[in-house]
Amino acid sequence: MDIEFSQADIDKATRALSRARLTYNQEQLALRRIGRAVIKQAKKNVRQQRDIHGQPFAPRKKKRKGRRRLLPNLAKRLRGKNDASHVEVGFANRLMSEIAHKQQHGNPTETWTGARIRRVRGPFQHYDKPPSPRQARALLRAGYKIKKQRGKGWKKPTTKWVIDNIAQGQLGLILRELLHKKANASWEIDNAPRPFLGLTAEQSERIITHEVLRILR
């Protein structure tokens, strides 16, 4: 359900802001609520798989079996922080912030090398336990394949298959061998922009009007 306001409502909110009729505590409350509204809209965008302009997210380069949603965990980790005059919406975790930035703005060319995979694969601390999804993906990026059950040839397994069938210790050995063979190899990944965080001018005006009027009433 959309919230609608008349031009008189918008003018009233604008006058209140221009004349500084809100107290400091009221301003802080309005900023916190606006931050929460921005996060709520970002979650809605991800849930509907649409960008801030209502367009469908750019699809993955490689299609996977089943319908796997894009950016399922990013919006959940958004946090708002406000000071005396403005509110910021972002991520406390630096790595998550970098991932979100690439998804938001796109990254035309992202080069992966064996050395980079070694940096991001994560430590192998529990040799007999299943690997983490991050470690499994690092193995797949390095080119790990298994024999096809039917027919001849090899195929790339899924992340779930790696987690279910290979222990951390074994994965580490295989990964080191693959990276040794690919020491000088590199490959590029194109990241299309999927702007999920942000507001249109109309949304921004509606949210600010709504929160200011809530406080003035």
Same-domain check for residues 27 and 94? yes
Closest to 53 measured CA to CA, from 194, 149, 214, 207? 194
Would you call 47 helix, strand, or coil by DSSP? helix
> What pLDDT was estimated at residue 54?
92
Average pLDDT over the chain reads 77
Same-domain check for residues 48 and 59? yes
Residue at 50 is within a domain: yes
Same-domain check for residues 48 and 19? yes
pLDDT in tens, 135-178: 888 888 888 898 888 778 888 899 999 999 988 878 887 887 78
Same-domain check for residues 149 and 207? no
Same-domain check for residues 89 and 32? yes
Same-domain check for residues 156 and 170? yes
Residue at 142 is within a domain: yes
Q: What CA–CA distances, in Å, run from 189 to 33, 68, 91, 136, 186? A: 38, 19, 24, 18, 10
Closest to 139 measured CA to CA, from 151, 160, 116, 121? 121
Beta carbons of 138 and 120 less than 8 angstroms apart = yes
Q: In this predicted model, which residue has the larger pLDDT, 107 or 200?
A: 200
Query: Could you give the number of structural domains in the chain?
Result: 2
Question: Cα(35)–Cα(40) distance, rounded to whole angstroms?
Answer: 9
Same-domain check for residues 120 and 175? yes
Q: What CA–CA distances, in Å, run from 38 to 15, 118, 149, 193, 200? A: 23, 36, 49, 19, 11
Structure pTM? 0.56
Q: How confident is the model at residue 3 (pLDDT cuts 50, 70, 90)?
A: very low
> What pLDDT was estimated at residue 47?
92
